[in-house]
Structures are given as structure tokens and as C-alpha cells.
Chains A and B, each alone.
Chain A
Amino acid sequence: MKITHFPETDSVYIDLSDRPSTETREVNTDLNIDLDAEGKLVGIDIHGNASQYVDLSSFLIETVET
């Protein structure tokens, strides 16, 4: 997974896999999701006002053991 921040445009792209997108769906004015040929999510494109959606000051990955 890769998170790319574009501060100049207040945008964030979250790559969830290396598979190319074949379809982009608009969730709202600021947010698109990218799907592969099988309809699986490959990317999250916050292409406007990302700072309103994401706290970019910290990043935490937590794996919960069951």
C-alpha cells in the first residue's frame, strides 16, 4: 500500500495494489474510487480538500490479534 500526498492541491491518493484501474467511480466531488477489471478496489483518490477528510499529521497501522 502506498499513500501519496499532494500538498499543493490538498489531495491524497491511496494505492491499495499495483493493479491498474479500469473503472473510476465518483463518490462525491472530492472522492473517487478506482476499481480493477474484476471490480476490486485498487485505489482511493481524494482529489480535493483531503485535509478535511484525513488527518495527515499522524499515521498508524494496527493489526488486531484474535
Chain B
Amino acid sequence: MERRPDIRLDWVKETISNPDYKVIQIDKRFRYWKWIDEAQKYLRVITLEDRKTVHNAFFDRGFKR
């Protein structure tokens, strides 16, 4: 996250709690996407199996619902 200062922690939390779309990965991690108005991009957040521990977060240019 420190490498990506444009991504705000509240956006990450909101993406997990209220995603536009989510899927479970093969490795049991969860992917969540949410449109972030301020950034005009989709944010993808990946959590571990517990659905709480944030593993990664980045703006996903390639996401299409």
C-alpha cells in the first residue's frame, strides 16, 4: 500500500464491505472490485481467506463487469 499512495484506506475498506463485484480465487483468496468516483477507476482489493486481511489493492484498468 505504501507503494501506491493514491489508494486510500477508506476506499479499501469500502470495497471489501460494499463491493460492486466479488469472486473467490482458486487459492481461496477473495477479490473485490468497486468503482471509485474520485479516482474514476475500479479498485481491486484482494483479501486472504478470512475476508479481512488485505493482501493487495490496486486500480484495475482491465476490469469489465
Contacts and interface: CB of A to CB of B under 8 A. Distances in A.
Interface of A: 9, 11, 13, 15, 20-26, 29, 32, 34, 42-43, 45, 47-49
Interface string B29-58: 100000000000000001010000001101
In the complex, which range does the number of interface residues on chain B fall in? 10 to 19
Given A24-B4, A26-B58, A47-B56, 16 more contacts: A9-B48, A9-B55, A11-B55, A13-B3, A20-B3, A21-B4, A23-B59, A24-B58, A25-B61, A26-B60, A32-B58, A34-B3, A42-B3, A45-B56, A48-B27, A49-B27
Interface of B: 3-6, 25, 27, 29, 46, 48, 55-56, 58-62
B26 to A, nearest CB: 8
Contacts of B29: 48
Contacts, number: 38
Nearest to B63: A26
Nearest to B41: A23
B31 to A, nearest CB: 10
Ranked nearest first, the 4 interchain pairs of A and B with the lowest CB-CB distance are A24-B58, A47-B56, A21-B4, A20-B5
B51 to A, nearest CB: 15
